[in-house]
Amino acid sequence: VNVVDNKQLPGVQGTALDRQDLLPALFDPRLDAINFLNEVIDRFPDAISFAPGAPFGGFFDDLDVGHYVDLYVRYLSEKQHLTAAQVRRRLYQYGPARGQINELLAGALRMDEQIEVAPRDIVVTVGCQEAMVLVLRTLCPGPNDMLAVVNPCFAGIAGAAKVLGIETLVVEESGDSLALDELEAACTMAREQGKRVRALYVAPDYSNPSGQLLDLDTRQRLLSLASHQDFLLIEDNAYGFTAHPDEALPTLKALDRARRVVYLGTCAKMCLPGVRVGFVVADQFVVDSTGETRLLADELALVKSMVTVNTSPICQAIVGGMILEKGGSLAAVGREKAGLYRRNLSMLLAALDRHVGPQAELLGVSWNRPKGGFFVRMRLPVTADEALLAACGSQYGVLWTPMRNFYLNDGGRFEIRLSCSYLTDEEIDEGVLRLALFLRAVCA
């Protein structure tokens, strides 16, 4: 251990660790992608930002957290017949690792998604992010256990696999489907090399970052491939709630008849991100050498008890109160928000058509047209890296996310992600106007 001068605080000396001795994943630049974006947003505070996938802030202007806690407390005392002392213990003490709003979540899954699971199949987590870490750590204990991931993908799953040292296998998107033949071949090849693909992470409904919606046929084929090749599907449904009610497709978990799907949910978008509540449905059977059977959820709860002990009961109470207020439906909590996001998305697409469309071909620029989710993916004829983003922020006052950050291989160098969730109507229009000026300057 060296003692060195601290460059940030001149004159202050302290213990210096060699970075080479720390977690190798720290050297992966993608791990820093979110910090980098926050830093860019701070550096150009007047810029209009299509970068963050965060919910619209206006939803929280009048949010009364106490009201939801009260609703949950009333439910505990009137419906569950708990005494005042028992209610206090539920809210203020340590609680069960698997969570305490499991029954409400199971009811909401039944009502909203036609997913039939028992409260015991669910573990309430500190955001969906913790669920990812618990599932990956539990399913992939050894060096030969691999995670297949749809590419490009949510930075949180790729980052979690990196931090845990789990090898990933890339499955490419292809229109509204996936490269399933390649996945099947990769599973076979992995087996021949003594490895096993334990699971595929997939977000079938308006994925982050590409806005992809998998068609019904692909969903069915995925389920049968998973069964044939004996891997699990880890379904992330963060954006399914934004689908137009007439266009919603059944989730993989709703189609699953064989307990092949581990389902990840988040309350960040339908309720609020600050509550940090997510959940995982893990109804798979686990059999030990004596023949005793448990649930995967039991094992995840065991691991969770050594990671975060339990999800904050007060935060669970807030989510519980929100669900209760909407008659047991989580989708109903997100309904008004979903309407705004769909409107924002069509405003963003209309503004792109108006301000960029007439010259798009000439400039070599194109974009997809998702019907839900938060994101539009745009292809440019130039490398869309951090330097270009900084130039765009300083000279044109508009920000976006380089898609490169979401790829597990070297893809995405010519793509950007535009998020519509965070901005007002005026900001979307003005932002696209600025983006059009920038594109004319750099792509001409």
Ligand X SMILES: Cc1ncc(COP(=O)(O)O)c(C=O)c1O
User: Which token pair is 355?
Assistant: 């301000």
Work out which of 95, 127, 370, 393 binds ligand X, going by CB under 6 A.
127
Q: Is 240 in the site for ligand X (CB under 6 A)?
A: no
- Using the rule CB under 6 A, is 242 a contact of ligand X? no
Gap between the Cα atoms of 183 and 194, Å rounded: 17
* Span near ligand X by CB under 6 A; candidates 11-19, 126-134, 218-226, 362-370: 126-134
* Shortest spacing between CB 266 and ligand X, in angstroms: 3
- Cβ–Cβ < 8 Å for 146, 198: yes
- Choose between 208 and 251: whose C-beta lies nearer to ligand X: 208
Residue 208 near ligand X by CB under 6 A: yes
User: Are 415 and 337 in contact, with CB atoms under 8 Å apart?
Assistant: no
Q: Does 273 contact ligand X by CB under 6 A?
A: yes
Closest CA to 419 of 21, 48, 13, 35: 48
Binding of ligand X by 203 (CB under 6 A): yes
Q: Report 404-433 residues binding ligand X (CB under 6 A).
A: none
> Measured from the CB of residue 406, what is the shortest distance to ligand X in angstroms?
10
Stretch that binds ligand X, among 123-131, 172-180, 210-218, 345-353 (CB under 6 A): 123-131
d(CA 38, CA 431): 18
Task: Please give the DSSP secondary-structure letter assigned to residue 329.
Answer: -
Amino acid letter, 388: L
The residue assigned the tokens 């969770």 is: 304
Contact between 204 and 213 under an 8 Å Cβ cutoff? The reply is: yes
Contacts of 144 (CB under 8 A, 6+ apart): 194, 195, 196
Which residues make Cβ contacts (< 8 Å) with residue 242, sequence separation at least 6? 206, 338, 341, 342, 345, 372, 373, 374
Does 266 engage in binding with ligand X (CB under 6 A)?
yes
Tokens standing for residue 369: 């047209």
Compute the least distance from the CB of residue 328 to ligand X, in Å: 21
Of the ranges 21-29, 144-152, 266-274, 435-443, which one interacts with ligand X (CB under 6 A)? Answer: 266-274
Which region among 16-24, 121-129, 188-196, 351-359 touches ligand X (by CB under 6 A)?
A: 121-129
Tell the smallest beta-carbon distance from residue 334 to ligand X (Å).
13
Residue 276 Cβ, how far from ligand X at the closest point, in Å? 7
* Closest distance of CB 12 from ligand X, Å: 35
- In whole angstroms, the minimum distance from the beta carbon of 240 to ligand X comes to 10
Q: Which of 173, 136, 212, 131 is nearest to 409 (CA)?
A: 173
Evaluated on CA atoms 87, 91, 92, 98, the torsion sign reads positive
What stretches of 120-260 adopt beta strand conformation (E)?
Answer: 122-125, 145-151, 167-174, 177-178, 196-202, 232-236
Residue 208 or 242 having the CB closest to ligand X: 208
Binding of residue 99 to ligand X (CB under 6 A): no
Binds ligand X (CB under 6 A): choice among 102, 129, 151, 310? 129
User: Which among 137, 113, 111, 140 is positioned nearest to 125, based on CA atoms?
Assistant: 137
| Window 26-55: contact mask with ligand X (x via CB under 6 A) | ---------------------------x--
Nearer to ligand X, 396 or 406 (CB): 406
Whichever of 164 and 350 has its CB closer to ligand X, that residue is: 164
**Which residues are at the interface with ligand X (CB under 6 A)?**
53, 127-129, 154, 156, 203, 208, 236, 238, 266, 268, 273, 278
